[in-house]
A and B are shown apart, each in its own frame.
Chain A
Amino acid sequence: MVAMPDLLPALPELFLACAGMLLLMIGVFRGEGSLRLVSWLAVGALLVTGVLLVLGPTERTVTFSGLFVSDSFAVFAKLLVLTATALTIILSQRYLETEQLARFEYPVLLVFATLGMMGMISANDLIALYVGLELQSLSLYVIAAFKRDFAKSSEAGLKYFVLGALSSGMLLYGASLVYGFAGTTNFDALAALFAAGETPAVGVIVGMVFVAAGLAFKISAVPFHMWTPDVYEGAPTSVTAFFAVAPKIAAITLFIRVLVDPFGDLLAQWQQVIWFCAVASMILGSLAAIQQSNIKRLMAYSSIGHIGYALVGLAAGTEAGVRGVLIYMAIYLAMNVGTFAIILSMRVQGRMVEEIRDLSGLSKSHPMMALAMAIFMWSMAGVPPAAGFFGKFYVFMAAVDAGLIVLAVIGVITSVVSCYYYLRIIKVMYFDDLTEPLERPSRAASLVIAGTALFTFPVFFIFSNAILTGAATAAASLFQ
C-alpha cells in the first residue's frame, strides 16, 4: 500500500483547487449575472491561498513521492502570481461588463490557470512540470479566445493554441529523451546524477535543449515569441493584462527551477542557449516596439524585451542572478499591472481605444494618471530612481559577476534604444495636444494605478529592503 502523502506543503494548492471547482459550481447554478459575485469570491480565495502560503512551512519540503516541492523560492514566486491574478480579476470586472463579456467562467478560468502556475512553480519532476504547465496553458488558450464573436480574439486563441501545442510537444519530446538517458524525471535525482560529475549523454543535453525551447515559448523569448504581439492585440484587454504578468512570472520561475535545480551542474551546456535567447529578446523587444502605434502591441514587445533582461540574470546561473530575476519580476509585476490598469481605463465616449495617440494630452485631462503612466514608463526604461532601474541593475550586475560582460553591454545598449519608445509615450501624454479626453477610470482601477505607481516610485526606492531580502532568501533556498 502506498502511504498517504504529506498534504500540508500543498495545502494552498489544494485549497485553491477546491475553491476553483466550488466557484465553477456557484457560477453554473447562479447562471448569468454572477460575474461580480464569482469575481470577488475568487479574489477572496486567492487571498486565503496567499495567507496559507505565508503561514505554511518555509523550509524545503518535498511531498507526493518527490513530485512536489515547497521552499521559499516557490513561496516568493507564488505570492507574486497570486497578487497578479487577484489584481487582474479586480481590474477586469468593469471592462468585461462594458464589453458584454460578463461571464462567470472568466474568473474561474483565471483561478484554474493560477492553480496550474502554482503547480509549475512547485514542480519537482518533469511530469509534475508538464501537468502544471498544461493546466495553465489550457485555461489560457480558452481565455485568449474569450471574446469569441470577435474574429481577432478567436484568431489569437487559435494561434496561441497551435504554437503552444507545438511547444508542449517539444517539451515532452525533450522530457522523454531525458528520461530515456538519465533514467529518472525527478529533479533531485537528476541533480544528484549530474553532480556526480559524469559527462552527460548527448540525449540528455538534447532533451534539455528541447525542454528549454518549450519553456522559452511560454515566456515568449525570441525566437519563440511570434504569438505574443498577435495574442496581446487580439485577446480582450483584460486578458492581455493577465497574460503579460502572471504566466510570465510562473514560467520564468519554472524555467529557473528546471535549469538551476536538476540541470544546474550542466550550466556550461545551457548557458549559450539562454544567452542567445536573452540577446535576441532584448534586441527584438527594443527594436520592434519603436514602430508600434497600438499600445497593446507595444506592451507585447516590451514584455519580450523584459523577459530578455530577466534571462540575463538566469544566464548568469548564479544565486545573485536568480535573486536578480526575482527582483526583476516583482518590479515587472507592479509596472505592468499598473500600465494595464491605465490601458483598461482608456475609454472615450463609451468605447475602448488602444492607440498610443489616444493618450495625447493626458497630462491635461488626467494629470495624476499621466504622472503614474510616466512613472511606469521611466521604470520600464530602467531610468533611476524608478524601481525598474534596480531590476535591471541586479541582473546586469549578476551577469558581469559571472563574466558575461558582452551580454550586459548588449543589455545596456538595448535599454537605451527602448528608452526611445517609452519616452515617446511620455512625450505624447505631456507634450501633444488633447484630442478627446478619456473617461474617468473606475474606482478599482484608480486604486490599483495609484498603488502600483507609488510602489514603483518612491515606495520601492525607500523600502526595497523587504523585497530584496525576500528575493535573496528565495534565491538562496534554490541553491542549498
Chain B
Amino acid sequence: MLTAVLAIFVLAALAPTVHRMTPSFSHWLLALVPAAITVWFATFLGPVGAGEVVTQSIPWIPTLGVELAFRLDGLSLLFALLITGIGTFIVIYSGGYLHGHEHQGRFYLFIIAFMGAMLGLVLADDIITLFVFWELTSITSFLLIGFNHEDASSRRSAVQALLVTAFGGLALLAGLVLLGIAAGSFTLSGIEASGIDIRAHALYLPILVLILLGAFTKSAQVPFHFWLPNAMDAPTPVSAYLHSATMVKAGVYLLARMNPTLGATEVWTITLAAFGTVTALWGGLMALRSTDLKKVLAYTTLMALGTLVMLVGLGTEYAMKAYAVFLLAHSLYKGALFMGAGSVDHGTGTRDVRELSGLWQKMKITGVFIALAALSMAGLPPFFGFIGKEFMYEGMLQAGTLGLLVVAGMVIANATMLGAAGLVFWKPFTGQPSEAAEHAHEGGPSLWLGPAVLASLGLALGLGAIPHEGLGEGLLGAVATSLKGEAAKVDLYLWHGLTPALGISVVTIALGLGMFLGLGGVKRGLDGLARASRVNVDAAWDHVLAGLNAVAVAVTRATQTGKLRDYMVWTFTGITLMLGGTLLLRDGILLPREMPETSYLGIFMAALMVVGTIGTILAFSRLAAIVSLSVVGLSIAMFFLVYGAPDVGITQLMVETLTVIIIVLVLAKLPAFRKGEDGTGGERARNGAIAVAMGAVTTAILLAVIAVPYELDLTRYFAEQSYVGGYGRNVVNVILVDFRAFDTLGEVTVVAVAGLGVLALLKARMGRTRTGSQAGGDQP
C-alpha cells in the first residue's frame, strides 16, 4: 500500500516533465499509473469482501514508537477504488479540458499529488499519518482552487477554503491526540482493539467536538458549508474530483471510521442527524435556485454530504448499508455530471442554465451520459441512485422517532434532487437551441470517456448487470461491517416489495416533479431564504478577517511604538505582574514580625534617597536629573560603609562617580529637554502608576525576605573558616584577599577599565572640539 501511495507521488513529481515531452497525449500516459493501481486494488475485492483486513506497517521513528501503518478494509477499499478509479478518468479528462493551458504540467502535478494524499488518508491506520495526509489534501486543494490565479475571486476562494479546512484540521489534530491518549494507542486498529470504552471516558466530549469540527469543516456541513460553493471557481476537473467524489468525502470517511469508537451515543446520533439533515435540506433547496451548472452541482453535493453524515449518525443497520450504497452511487453520478457540465462549458463557453437550451442537437454523446447520471441523481428506477434512496429511507424508518423527523427533511431534500436533475439535463438539452447552443461542439473522447464510464456504471449497477455477489454482499457489505464494527450484509435489489420506503419514494418523486414544474415560484420563495443566511455566513467570513486585521493593528500599535520609553513601560509592567502574581499566588506577602532596628543615620540616608528620587523626577534638565540620581547611588554606598561592608561601599562609590561622569559627558551632547517630550499628562500618570506599582512589589519582596529567618550558613562558614583557611581574624579582610581574591582583582580591573573609558570619551571630546570645523561642526 505504501508502494501505491509512493508511486502516485512519484508520478506527480514526474508529471510536468512527462507533459513537456509529450504534450498531446500526456494525459493518457499519466492515467496509466492510477489505472494500474485501481486494478491492483480491485484484486483485493475478494479477500476484503470476505471480511479480511489487510495491514502493513513500516517502522518510521522506532525510538518514539511512530510507524507508518496502513490498513485496507471495506471502507478503505471502496474509497481507494473511487479515488484511483475516478482519478484515472479525471486525469484523462483534464487533458482534454485544459488542452493548451500554459500551466497544464503544473496542474497534473497538483492533482496527482492530491490523489496520492487522498489515497494515503483513507489507507492510513496510524492517526498521525492520517492527519498528515489530511492536511496534505488541504494544501493541494488550495493550490488547485487557486489555479486560475489571475482571477481575484479564485484567490479569495482558495484562501477561504484553506483557512476553513486548516482550522478544522488543527481541531482534528487536537481531537486525535486526545483520542490517542485516552485509548493509549495511536493506530485506528489499536484504538478499536484496546477495549477501552472511549464513550465512557472523561475526555469523550472534547474528543467528539474536536473531531466533528474537523470532519464538518472538511465535508462542508452547515455552518461551515460556505466555502464549498465558492470553491467552484476551480477548473472543472478539480470540482469533479475534489469537491464531489473525494476530498469533501474525507470528513464523511472520518466519521464512518470513528463510528465504532465514538458512535452510538445520544449526543453523536442527534448531532450528526441534525447537522446532516439541515445541510442536506439546505443544499437541496439552494441547488434549485442556482443558475450556474457547477453551483447547482455543488449544492447537490452539499445535500449528499449532509445525507451521508446523517446516515452515520443514525447508526441503524440499514443506515450503514445505505451509507455504503449511497456513497458509491453519488460518487459515480456526481463525477459524471461535473465532467459533463465541464464539457458543456467547454463546448458552449457558458455554464449558465438561463442561456442554455436545445443542446441535444450538437452534443448528443454528452447529453446521453448527463441524462443517465441525472436520472441516477434524481433517484429514479432502475438507476443505482434509486437503490441508494430506498436503503436510506429504510435506515431512517428503523431509527424510531428521530428517524421520522429526519424522513420529513430528507423527503424534501431528495425531491430537490429530482428538480436539480431537471436543471442540469432538461433545461440545457431540450427545447429550441439558444444562441450559445448554436455554435456548441462536442469534445474529444478524453472529454466524454469519464462521464460515459461513470454514468454507465450507475445504470449497470442498478440493473444488476454487474454481479451483486462480489459488490453488494462483498465490498458494500464490508463497508457496512467497517462502520458497524460487526458483520453486515448488503442485498442489492431494485424491487424490495411494497415497503413503506417505496411509498416514501413515490411521494418524493411526485414532490420533485412538482418542484421542477413550478420552479419559478420555488425560486422566488428560496431567494428570500437565501438572502437571510448563506450570504451572511460568507459575509461574516469577511468580517472575521477584517476583525482579525483590526485586532492586529491595535495590538501592534499599542505595543510597538518604536519608543524605548514605551518598551520600558511594558517591561516593567510585565515584571511587576509576574513578581506580584508570584507573591500573591504563593502567599508570599509577609510582614516581618519585628521591625529591624534602625539608627538615626540610616533614617537620614533613607530620607536622602527619597529626596534624590523626587529630585530626579522633578528635574527639568538632564544634568540635574543625573546629579539627583547620583545622590541615591551615593546614599546606598554610604549604607554599605555604615553597615560594615567598606569594600562594597568603596566600589559602589567609585563606580557611581565614574558613571555620573560618563553619563554627563554623553548627555552633554544631546539637545536640551523639549517641552512635551515626556508625554501627555495621562501618559505621565500611567508611568507614575507603573513606577509606584513596581516600587510596591519590590518593597513587598524585601519585607517578605526579611520576614523569613535568614539562612546563616554562609556567615557561619566564613566565620569558622576565616582563621583556619586564611589565617586572619578580620573576616571581611580574609574574604576580600583570600576567599575572593580574584573577585577583588576583578573589581579593580572593572574600575580601571571604566576609568579608561572615561579617558577615551574625554579625549574624543577634546579631539572633536579641536577639529570641529573639519567634521562639519557640532549640532547646536
Give the interface of A toward B (CB within 8 A).
158-159, 162-163, 166-167, 170, 177, 180-183, 201-203, 205-206, 209-210, 212-213, 217, 222-224, 226-227, 229-230, 269, 272-273, 276, 284, 287-292, 378, 383-385, 389, 393, 396-397, 400-401, 408-409, 412-413, 415-417, 419-420, 423, 427, 430-431, 464-465, 468-469, 472
Contact = CB atoms under 8 A, between A and B. Distances in A.
B62 A288 contact: no
Main secondary structure of the interface of A (DSSP, over half): helix
A288 B560 contact: yes
Contact of B549 (A272, A291, A423, A469): A291
Chain A CB within 10 Å, residue with most, of B163, B545, B556, B577 = B556
B171 interface: yes
A210 B576 CA distance: 10
Contact of B711 (A182, A227, A415): A182
Contact of A288 (B174, B556, B588): B556
7 closest cross-chain pairs (CB), A and B: A223-B574, A226-B567, A290-B552, A431-B149, A384-B132, A183-B713, A202-B704
Interface residues of B, number: 65
B582 A273 contact: yes
17 contacts: A163-B571, A166-B571, A180-B711, A205-B582, A206-B704, A273-B578, A276-B578, A288-B555, A292-B556, A378-B139, A384-B135, A384-B136, A393-B128, A400-B181, A412-B173, A468-B61, A468-B63
B131 interface: yes
Contacts of A396: 174, 177
Contacts of A415: 170
Given A201-B711, A202-B708, A420-B548, A223 B571 contact: yes
B590 interface: yes
Given A182-B711, A288-B555, A468 B177 contact: no
B772 interface: no
Contact of A224 (B128, B135, B174, B574): B574
B68 to A, nearest CB: 10
B571 A431 contact: no
A461 B466 CA distance: 43
A269 B578 contact: no
Contacts of A465: 60-63
Chain B CB within 10 Å, residue with most, of A273, A385, A469 = A385
A383 B166 contact: yes
Interface string B701-738: 10011011001011000000000000000000000000
A284 B559 contact: yes
A280 to B, nearest CB: 9
Nearest to B586: A205
B172 to A, nearest CB: 10
A326 to B, nearest CB: 13
A291 B63 contact: no
B264 interface: no
A431 B552 contact: no
B705 A206 contact: yes
B579 interface: yes
B670 interface: no
Given A203-B708, A288-B555, A385 B174 contact: no
Contacts of B583: 202, 206
B63 A469 contact: yes
A210 B574 CA distance: 11
Contacts of A183: 711, 713-714
A281 to B, nearest CB: 12
B571 A416 contact: no
Contacts of B184: none
B146 A431 contact: yes
A291 B64 CA distance: 39
B567 A227 contact: yes
Nearest to B155: A431
Contact of B555 (A210, A230, A287): A287
B754 to A, nearest CB: 14
A465 B59 CA distance: 10
Contact of B701 (A206, A292, A384, A409): A206
A211 B524 CA distance: 69
A180 B708 CA distance: 12
A378 B714 CA distance: 55
B170 A412 contact: yes
Contacts of A430: 146, 149
Contacts of A408: 174
B603 interface: no
A54 to B, nearest CB: 19
Given A159-B564, A170-B575, A393-B128, A202 B135 contact: no
Given A159-B567, A206-B583, 4 more contacts: A383-B166, A384-B135, A416-B167, A419-B162
B497 interface: no
A297 to B, nearest CB: 9
A291 B553 contact: yes
Interface in B140-159: 146, 149, 155, 159
B104 interface: no
B564 A423 contact: no
B588 A205 contact: yes
B555 A223 contact: no
B547 to A, nearest CB: 11
B470 interface: no
B174 A412 contact: yes
Chain A CB within 10 Å, residue with most, of B163, B181, B582, B711 = B582
B135 A383 contact: yes
B562 interface: yes
A224 to B, nearest CB: 6
B149 A290 contact: no
B585 interface: yes
A331 to B, nearest CB: 14
A472 B552 contact: no
A287 B551 contact: yes
A229 B171 CA distance: 31
A202 B586 contact: yes
A412 B171 contact: yes
A393 B519 CA distance: 52
Contacts of A385: 132, 135-136
A468 B65 CA distance: 11
Interface in B9-54: none
Contacts of A202: 583, 586, 588, 590, 701, 704-705, 707-708
Given A290-B549, A468-B64, A400 B163 contact: no
A413 B568 CA distance: 29
A309 to B, nearest CB: 13
A385 B136 CA distance: 7
A157 to B, nearest CB: 12
Contacts of B132: 384-385, 389
A409 B206 CA distance: 11
Contacts of A420: 163, 545, 548
